[in-house]
Amino acid sequence: MSAREEVLGRIRTALGETRAPVPEVVRDYRTTDDRPAAELLDVLVDRLEDYKASVLRCGPDDVAATVTAALDSGLGTGWAPGSVVAAPGLPAAWRPEGLDTDDDRPPVQLAERAASVTAVAVAIAETGTLVLDGTPPCGRRALSLLPDCLVCVVTADQVVGNVPESLGRLDPLRPLTMISGPSATSDIELQRVEGVHGPRTLVVVLVSGAAATIR
Amino acid sequence: MTTTPQDLRTDQTPLAPGAPRSGTTFLGLPTAPRGVGHLRGDRSFPDAARDALRDGQLRANLGHATQTIRGKRARVVAELPDWQQLRAAGSALKAATMARLDEHLEELERQVTARGGTVHWARDAAEANRIVTDLVRATGTDEVVKVKSMATQEIGLNEALEAAGIAAHETDLAELIVQLGDDKPSHILVPAIHKNRAEIREIFLRTMPRVDADLTDEPRRLAMAARSHLRERFLRARVAISGANFAVAETGTLAVVESEGNGRMCLTLPETLITVMGIEKLVPTWPDLEVFLQLLPRSSTGERMNPYTSMWAGVTPGDGPQDFHLVLVDNGRTAVLADEVGRQALHCIRCSACLNVCPVYERTGGHAYGSVYPGPIGAVLSPQLTGVEDNASLPYASSLCGACYDVCPVAIDIPSILVHLRAEHVEAQEKPTAESVAFKALARAMSSPRLWRLAQRAAGLGRLLARGRPTMPAALPFPASAWTRSRDLPTPPAESFTAQWAREHGGRS
Ligand code: SF4
């Protein structure tokens, strides 16, 4: 008998011939958050800053300039545009002049770059989480991982209140990365240290106002 | 029917000691084999605990760490108004998954396969190790990077790879500390919790080839030393091995929850990814994750959300590993599933909250439990995976105070399983021991109010032996000495609660 057949057979034996009915799952926890949108943005900012990420807010016409300011704060002024890689689908209006664009180079080459700039798929206010889904605006997973500074642009319409709302907007078949602050460890005496293997600096550009949408 | 966590507890009435086992509980399903993996200690819990209790540094490190993390958890759990509803849903979801485990596993296999992954099945640790070793060999590499994973520790994968000439590099900071220090993990979440910063600095200076000789013991400096030590390994690695926190049956999505980014490195950069997962780790549908992604981070690191969660389904062209293998491991889990009381232990999401609140764990640390699963969950899971005769002292490694049940995000009734396993162990013994005699007597006394009152009055005699001290002398006559040798037994109160109540209120006790 194959291991597969044997393990499945053991499970059937363990559960018995007349199986008990499947217990009902009651979902009476919160699945939506009806706080006003403006309040959710404030909660998101508060949570992100609590994780030691920095947040810059701007209107829909100032995204490129604010991304530049974000890179200034993450890398120090005077950074070389060619050392910053943008996701291939990042809207042109959001890109500072001269940025490099990610292509199908071997992913490890991204480790030489100082920073990357991506969009997100969803942001969760209550937990301060950004979700990237591997579509062209977010880029492949290595892009938001290897450069030491990550700038993410979030538009107001992408911000949801809680975790259940976020999963409803995501495609489980895509490679998903949930990011809540810079990488961190608490392995030494449970003291939090920001920045281990992932980007040590996370700067979020939060775009609100009338036309603040990526689509 | 709405199930509240309170109901869950009474739903699962443990078998009374000596009660006949139900026909479905013991079906002779194989437990985890001996001689491979890390589910058994080489000493009994009381022996190992006695040594641990003598180590003042260990107790100080543990006390500090568990206290810190308890506080963090309590703060973020209190933030969610619907915590108890999430907890009840988490518990019900796990029970629902177990009730049709075979169907969900088959669905998971179909979905992973449809998205370009390969699914392997392993009856036990030895078979899982063989599968992984063969997969690594087939790539032609002799080193792998690893994400922290309880399943691979359980099966002893690193030793198996080493025996095959393959170097396995742990990449989680705590696992790295443990590996470089030639030590053993002592906690599910923070395996190096027993080491303080000075000890970690000493390990790094001794074992990292290119470490800065001026390394201080500041946690930031130590973390940066680990970053540079591992950076180049990540970039050159061709094969990674991970565990999984969750697998979604209906979509084939796997999830790894972590903090440092070492997980993302392993899940993203190598060409080949091998994920080793216990067969109980799945949830039926995608929305089910909305419950666990709220329960796990708050219970485990005490954060609103952990820094990184990675999810993937099979292979994505142009993004991440192009060769993906999922190894599903039984290793005694089906034997646990067969026990209607004990099977709740399979609901565990390995958050470690029960370790951090356990008064026994806080004093002995994780090593005393002998298994990779320490603390309250270890005390109920390890003996079931191995068969209770191989971890006979673990069900007694608890004061049954119930703190573990209160914090468990999936409401596992650990105290009831402990009592159930104790009864099973006592019953299995051929020769009566002091313990088995005492437990049988206790069961008899507790079932009769008259005997119970007599026993309480007899306990009052103990006060004579204590001669006014707060604890009983260690040198009590046998068989009581077996208990007091390594424990402080409080002097019985002058009057039992029921006697006091009867005196003050004049009612019946
Ligand atoms: S038993 Fe519960 S509290 Fe303990 S590790 Fe498992 S899920 Fe967490």
Q: Residues A33-44: what's their mean pLDDT?
A: 96
Q: Is residue B13 part of a domain?
A: no
Q: Output B444-449 pairs: Cβ under 8 A, ≥24 positions apart.
A: B447/B16
Q: Which among B303, B309, B189 is positioned nearest to B253, based on CA atoms?
A: B309
In the prediction, which pLDDT does B364 show? 86
Q: Are residues B309 and B451 in the same domain?
A: no
In the prediction, which pLDDT does A22 show? 95
Is the CB of B426 inside a 6 Å radius of any atom of ligand 1? no
Residues of B in contact with A24 (CB under 8 A): 1, 3, 92, 96
Q: Is residue B372 part of a domain?
A: no
Q: Is residue B162 part of a domain?
A: yes
Among B331, B350, B366, the domain-final residue is B331
Look at A184 and B307 and tell me if their CB atoms are within 8 Å. yes
Give exposure, B390-423, as e/b (b: 16+ Cβ within 10 Å): bbbbbbbbbeeeebbbebbbbbbbbbbbbbbbbb
Residue B104: closest C-alpha in chain A: A8
Count of CB atoms situated within 10 Å of the CB of B484: 15
Among B331, B350, B373, the domain-final residue is B331
Residues of A in contact with B309 (CB under 8 A): 176-178
- Of the listed ranges A77-91, A166-180, B74-88, B196-210, the one predicted with least confidence: B196-210
Q: Is B154 on the interface with A (CB under 8 A)?
A: no
Residues of A in contact with B260 (CB under 8 A): 183-185, 187, 196-198
- Residue type for B165, please? G
Residue B361 CA, chain-centre distance (Å), reads 12
Locus of tokens 């579509």: A135
Pairing of strands B282-283, B246-248: parallel
Q: Which among B384, B385, B379, B382 is positioned nearest to B361, based on CA atoms?
A: B379
Q: Are residues B313 and B452 in the same domain?
A: no
In the prediction, which pLDDT does B425 show? 82
Task: Copy the structure tokens of residue B388.
Answer: 């209770």
Q: Is residue B385 part of a domain?
A: no
Give per-residue pLDDT as tens, A183-193.
888 788 877 88
Give per-residue pLDDT as tens, B394-426.
888 888 899 999 999 999 999 999 999 998 888
What is the B379 CA–ligand 1 centroid distance (Å)? 11
Q: Supply the ipTM of this predicted assembly.
A: 0.95
Distance (Å) from the alpha carbon of B75 to chain A's nearest alpha carbon? 14
pLDDT > 60? residue B31: yes
In the prediction, which pLDDT does B9 show? 35
Q: Is A186 on the interface with B (CB under 8 A)?
A: yes
Q: Is B116 on the interface with A (CB under 8 A)?
A: no
User: Distance between CA atoms of B506 and B494, rounded to whole angstroms?
Assistant: 18
Give the count of domains, chain B: 2
What is the B17 CA–ligand 1 centroid distance (Å)? 25
Percentage with pLDDT > 90 across chain B: 55
Q: Indicate which CATH number applies to the domain containing B278.
A: 3.40.50.10420
* Domains of chain A in sequence order: 35-207 (3.40.50.10420)
Q: Is residue B336 part of a domain?
A: no
The pTM of this model reads 0.85
Q: Is residue B402 part of a domain?
A: no
In the prediction, which pLDDT does B117 show? 98
Residue A18: closest C-alpha in chain B: B24
In the prediction, which pLDDT does B365 show? 85
Confidence at B23, pLDDT banded by 50, 70, 90: very low
Q: Is residue B190 part of a domain?
A: yes
Q: Are residues B106 and B255 in the same domain?
A: yes
- Of the listed ranges A38-52, B26-40, B251-265, B404-418, the one predicted with least confidence: B26-40
Give per-residue pLDDT as tens, B247-283.
999 999 999 999 999 999 999 999 999 999 999 999 9
Confidence at B430, pLDDT banded by 50, 70, 90: low
pLDDT > 70? residue A99: yes
More confident residue, B506 or B17: B506
Look at A190 and B68 and tell me if their CB atoms are within 8 Å. yes
**Which of the given ranges, A55-64, B11-20, B384-393, has the highest pLDDT on average?**
A55-64
Among B306, B331, B356, the domain-final residue is B331
Locus of tokens 């005997």: B451
Give per-residue pLDDT as tens, B204-250.
999 998 888 889 999 989 988 888 889 889 999 999 999 999 999 99
- Of the listed ranges B31-45, B65-79, B317-331, the one predicted with least confidence: B31-45
pLDDT > 60? residue B332: yes
Of all protein residues, the one whose alpha carbon is nearest to atom 4 of ligand 1 is B354
Q: Is B115 on the interface with A (CB under 8 A)?
A: yes
DSSP B14-62: PPPTTPPPPTTT------PPTTSSSS--SS-HHHHHHHHHH-HHHHHHH
In the prediction, which pLDDT does B187 show? 81
Whole-number average pLDDT of chain B: 84
Task: Copy the structure tokens of residue B152.
Answer: 């691979």
Q: Are residues B86 and B234 in the same domain?
A: yes
Give per-residue pLDDT as tens, B438-455.
655 655 555 555 555 555
pLDDT > 80? residue B11: no
Look at A7 and B235 and tell me if their CB atoms are within 8 Å. no
Q: Is A14 on the interface with B (CB under 8 A)?
A: yes
More confident residue, B189 or A140: A140
Count of CB atoms situated within 10 Å of the CB of B6: 11
Confidence at B56, pLDDT banded by 50, 70, 90: confident
Is the CB of B388 inside a 6 Å radius of any atom of ligand 1? no
Is the CB of B91 inside a 6 Å radius of any atom of ligand 1? no
Give per-residue pLDDT as tens, B132-168.
999 999 999 999 999 989 999 999 999 999 999 999 9
Distance (Å) from the alpha carbon of B42 to chain A's nearest alpha carbon? 27
Residues of B in contact with A198 (CB under 8 A): 260-261, 264, 307-308
In the prediction, which pLDDT does B18 show? 34
Q: Residues B59-76: what's their mean pLDDT?
A: 90
Distance (Å) from the alpha carbon of A182 to chain B's nearest alpha carbon? 7
CB A74 within 8 A of CB A148: no
Confidence at B47, pLDDT banded by 50, 70, 90: confident
Task: Copy the structure tokens of residue B89.
Answer: 């849903």
In the prediction, which pLDDT does A124 show? 98
In the prediction, which pLDDT does B10 show? 35
Q: Is A141 on the interface with B (CB under 8 A)?
A: yes
pLDDT > 80? residue A26: yes
If one residue of B384, B405, B412 were mutated to test the ligand 1 pocket, choosing by the most ligand atoms within 8 A of its CB, it would be: B412
More confident residue, A14 or B495: A14
Structural domain that includes position B445: 435-504
Q: Is residue B128 part of a domain?
A: yes
Give the A window 93-122 contacts with B, CB below 8 Å. Answer: 104, 107-108, 111
Is the CB of B87 inside a 6 Å radius of any atom of ligand 1? no
